[in-house]
Amino acid sequence: MEVALQSSLFDPAERQHLGSGAWVEVRSGWLSDADTLFDELLDAIPWRAERRHMYDRVLDVPRLVSFHNLVDEPAPHPRLREMRRRLNDTYGRELGEPFTTAGLCLYRNGDDSVAWHGDTIGRSSNEDTMVAIVGLGATRVFALRPRGGGKSLRLQHHHGDLLVMGGSCQRTWEHAIPKTSKPVGPRISIQFRPHDVR
């Protein structure tokens, strides 16, 4: 089954340059069948809870996760491979390598979040990369701030939107999904990354 994605020739892409070679780009409504995919992924993905050592304690990670190598392993849902193919067609030349993995996070409500971080595991400290994130379900704030301090950005990541961070963004900026006290429904984010980025 083909993923219903709008043609990149007609996607409203808004790229914002952040300085020092970092940029973020938002393609609103990139995934036109987002409702169907959200429901299917809730059921098809093998969600798991994780625990992590933080602040001198072992704590529950405040979201459910699932990670998949789309090159070497069967995809848990066929649309993940099709989205990966589309992203590689659009960004592969600029990235200089293909996206190979899909990490999925299920934010069940406003108590679920992810702390400030950059996706650089396995990469050298001066290597640029790209991370593409598809948002499904409830709108959540996607926050970015410069490493070491400075003015932050708070982007609304809507249902069906594609958000791409590129250039030096993972090295020079941090991103987070903050908790919210507002009533909010579940959200799935799908993070496509190249090899050795997590």
CA dist 143 and 159 (Å) reads 16
d(CA 168, CA 187) in angstroms, rounded, equals 27
Could you tell me if residue 173 is inside a domain? Answer: yes
Residue pair 184/140 in contact (Cβ under 8 Å)? The answer is: yes
Judge whether 58 lies within some domain.
yes
Contact yes or no for 189/38 (Cβ under 8 A): no
For 80-109, the pLDDT digits (tens) are 999 999 999 999 999 999 999 999 999 999
Residues 133-183 pLDDT 10s? 999 999 999 999 999 888 999 999 999 999 999 999 999 999 999 999 999
Task: Say what the pTM is.
Answer: 0.90
Q: 147 in a domain, yes or no?
A: yes
**Domain of 38, in residue numbers:** 13-194
58 exposure class (CB count in 10 Å sphere: 0-12, 13-18, 19+)? exposed
